[in-house]
Structure 1
């Protein structure tokens, strides 16, 4: 099954982070949650998440997907972290999947990976970078998947599953969730 990196920074949107991690693990993906610093990460609403490892420990690894949760100031920390920027650029160079939700696409914009792409993000999150957002819940542009915000987190995570493992894998995860 696919292996996935979820970099996690202080101030991340916990609803997005937990939904992504949980649903991808339900799909039997190998998910590595890597904090920017050692130790627990306090998210934007005070939820504390214990990462599996640190970004420093995964710099020499390759992943099928790197996915960035949003939230502020978490997305800004991802955008401003040279190690995360290096991982994103390397992922793009090897034509790996990249994904970000809410304000997370800010980090992709900083890496120069959104020019000419169809993307969505939290309202105004990409204004500073001059990147237009469609406002759709989820956008797929080749191996780039973006999501609008917390309300789209489940659809976003299910889309990631479908893009990497197919419709059957998505259905196997989505069915037991009893979504309307």
Structure 2
């Protein structure tokens, strides 16, 4: 069985989190091999970006990271306190553990900034949420990443994306890396998710 750790910071965005829970949950039920998504945080109760409260099933320090095959990182908002935990050493050390072990790390929206801060994006293609003059792109580039203005960027085992609307695509790409393209396509069809056209994948955030 493949196991995925979804690491939740206080201030996480619910939609980005739900993409992983639903896509991997459906894959476990209807896909061609079992999957387990385990969620964990640094505190027993989290306030999400838009005021939804939740209780992570585990605290990060309770888990054996070696027992997981991939890392899922939903993003969040600065006003909700996301970066206080998402840029903390426990988060960054977890990211380094997965990348150094050659395992997939899938991030949505601004959580790619965490990958950069962890030091794992040097010389690698990546993206993040970006607006004209946006500071997130600059943060990413300052960590040595090669910024690519596309909705989703895959560089080996590292998946980054540009916003909440990309979250399900990141989850399907994670599923594909863990299992197969055929299995991901099967689950996509069962969930009634359309496949974006080529133009979607090639459209930059800032023209």
For structure 1, the 5+ residue unaligned runs are none
Tell me by how many angstroms 1:59 deviates. Answer: 4.9
Tell me by how many angstroms 1:139 deviates. Answer: 1.1
Change (3 A) 1:126 1:58: farther
Confirm whether residue 114 of structure 1 aligns to residue 124 of structure 2. Answer: no
Q: Who is 2:8 aligned against?
A: 8
Cα distance in 2 for residues equivalent to 1:12 and 1:67: 12
Cα distance in 1 for residues equivalent to 2:113 and 2:64: 20
**TM-score under structure 1 length normalisation:** 0.91
Q: Who is 2:164 aligned against?
A: 150
Tell me by how many angstroms 1:176 deviates. Answer: 1.9
**TM-score under structure 2 length normalisation:** 0.80
Q: Who is 2:106 aligned against?
A: 99
Cα distance in 2 for residues equivalent to 1:120 and 1:78: 21
Cα RMSD of the aligned pairs, angstroms, is 1.7
Q: Count matched residues.
A: 179
Confirm whether residue 128 of structure 1 aligns to residue 139 of structure 2. Answer: yes
Tell me by how many angstroms 1:101 deviates. Answer: 1.1
For structure 2, the 5+ residue unaligned runs are 29-34, 195-207
Residues 100-159 of structure 1 deviation map (CA, whole Å, 9 limit, x = unaligned): 111101111111011111111111324124244322121111111111110111111111
